[in-house]
Amino acid sequence: MSNLSLLKNFPSSFIFGTATSSYQIEGNKYGGCGKSIWDEFAQRKLDGIDGLNACNHYEYFEEDIKLIKNLGFKAYRFSFSWPRLFPENNHNFNKEGVDFYQRLLNKILEHDLEPFPTLYHWDLPIRFSDIEGWENSDTCKHFADFSYFVSHQFGDLFEKIATINEPWCVSWLSHYLGEHAPGKKSLESAVSTMHNILLAHGMAIEALNSNRSHQVGIVLNNQYAESFDQKRENLNATKLFDSIHNRWFSDAIFKGAYPEIALSVLEKYLPKNYNHDLKIISNPIDWIGLNYYTRSIVKFDESENGINYKTQRGSLKKTDMDWEYYPEGLSYFIKRIHKEYNDQIPIYVTENGMANDDKLSSNGEVNDENRIEFFNLHLKEILNCLNEGFPVKGYFAWSLLDNYEWAFGYSKRFGLVYVDFDSFKRIPKKSYYEFSKHLL
Ligand code: IFM
């Protein structure tokens, strides 16, 4: 049986926290929240299973912050909901929404936790669909205004802030693979979004810092790319996958350029002035967030559009998402960021965790041994990185609560805390107690 006794070996300055996002937990039927692209996508593609109630964090947030404190954690990563703050249009803010985040931030600080807000975790207000959402660079300008607003309203209550959560999901997963809102399946749409979401990030840095000085970061989801075998065609396919999934975003942010191998296929869909935008995209950041979950096995697969690869799962132990446990990938990316991109940048593992088929037992407990094993394996990798001198500064478990897992609705449980979605009762799982046992 695994345990988390390795937690005692982390330096006291290391920040343990947990992460959530607005649409996944708040419940958009509360507090005057407006509709987002996810509400529309849920009606169209997910049989109406949406975030209307989610975990009702809007009403239960005080209990949730106490749960984080009682874990022994030091930080809370959450996101601001753009449609909650601007439900109707881009000019009139929702006072209830502003009050909510004010109360939330005050509660976080009252419990001596560090807030780690994110400006965008996928709930784009539905009105932007009229202008094709992130495919239109006007959305970037509106996002910069929104960023300024957040800094102006709440900027005295936090130091660090992330602009975008997982730009690959916002673009490729949502506009090429069609699995997330808005559910498009077009290479052209995906590439416009891959560029604009980064432009929005760069413009947000300027907007935030024009109000006051912040420590700004961005959160990238890196997925380890393993070639199916050593055949040249599969090795090349793996490089293409890596450059679209991972390097596109990190090269642009740190080097102000897109990787050649991805450009050879995607450049024709980029706007003419993309090199000019890359100067904004590569505005300096103060920290980088790394979300890490799994690896993909990559094979050559010829396609007319040049995306000549397909991915498959390997034979390693899997989570309830059918994602393989591959902890080695986490230290691989920590080292890669440090060695290939920026040896000064503080690295935060802003998400890591697993879906497990958790069941509430008759005595009211949730025994999620698998999750303890998963955390232990990944934390071991981080500890090794720390011992080798890599600047990893924090680790955020995904997630505090079981919540709305996007296209999977409420069927996948990622929480340290079990949620009964009818009564909103919160029940800490065994993994929760395992963290608190060693951290408190
Ligand atoms: O639930 C998501 C989260 O919103 C973004 N990162 C991955 C998590 C698990 O799929």
3-class SS at 211? helix
3-class SS at 182? coil
Detail the DSSP E strand segments found in 131-233: 160-165, 215-227
pLDDT tens track of the chain, all 440 residues? 899 999 999 999 999 999 999 999 999 999 999 999 999 999 999 999 999 999 999 999 999 999 999 999 999 999 999 999 999 999 999 999 999 999 999 999 999 999 999 999 999 999 999 999 999 999 999 999 999 999 999 999 999 999 999 999 999 999 999 999 999 999 999 999 999 999 999 999 999 999 999 999 999 999 999 999 999 999 999 999 999 999 999 999 999 999 999 999 999 999 999 999 999 999 999 999 999 999 999 999 999 999 999 999 999 999 999 999 999 999 999 999 999 999 999 999 999 999 999 999 999 999 999 999 999 999 999 999 999 999 999 999 999 999 999 999 999 999 999 999 999 999 999 999 999 999 99
Task: Report residue 280 as tokens.
Answer: 């904004």
405 lines ligand 1 (CB under 6 A): yes
Q: What is the pLDDT of residue 85?
A: 99
22 lines ligand 1 (CB under 6 A): no
398 lines ligand 1 (CB under 6 A): yes
Length of the chain: 440
Report the nearest atom of ligand 1 relative to the CA of 406. Answer: 1
Candidate of 290, 321, 398, 410 to mutate for ligand 1, largest count of ligand atoms within 8 Å of Cβ: 398
Could you tell me whether strands 75-79 and 15-19 are parallel, antiparallel, or unpaired per DSSP bridges? parallel
Ligand 1 centre to CA of 318 (Å) is: 16
What positions carry a catalytic annotation?
A: 166, 351
Report the nearest atom of ligand 1 relative to the CA of 221. Answer: 6
Nearest CA to ligand 1 atom 2: 405
Q: Do 18 and 395 touch, CB atoms closer than 8 A? A: no
Q: pTM for the whole thing? A: 0.98
CB atoms within 10 A of CB 290: 22
291 lines ligand 1 (CB under 6 A): yes
352 lines ligand 1 (CB under 6 A): no
166 lines ligand 1 (CB under 6 A): yes
Q: What are phi and psi of 75, to 5 degrees?
A: -150, 155
Ligand 1 centre to CA of 405 (Å) is: 7
Report the nearest atom of ligand 1 relative to the CA of 21. Answer: 4
Nearest CA to ligand 1 atom 9: 405
Q: What is the pLDDT of residue 342?
A: 98
Q: What is the pLDDT of residue 155?
A: 98
Q: What is the pLDDT of residue 133?
A: 99
The alpha carbon of 216 is separated from its chain's Cα centroid by a whole number of angstroms, namely 15
Q: Do 355 and 413 touch, CB atoms closer than 8 A? A: yes
Candidate of 21, 25, 221, 319 to mutate for ligand 1, largest count of ligand atoms within 8 Å of Cβ: 21
350 lines ligand 1 (CB under 6 A): no
Q: What is the pLDDT of residue 202?
A: 99
21 lines ligand 1 (CB under 6 A): yes
Ligand 1 centre to CA of 398 (Å) is: 8
The alpha carbon of 130 is separated from its chain's Cα centroid by a whole number of angstroms, namely 25
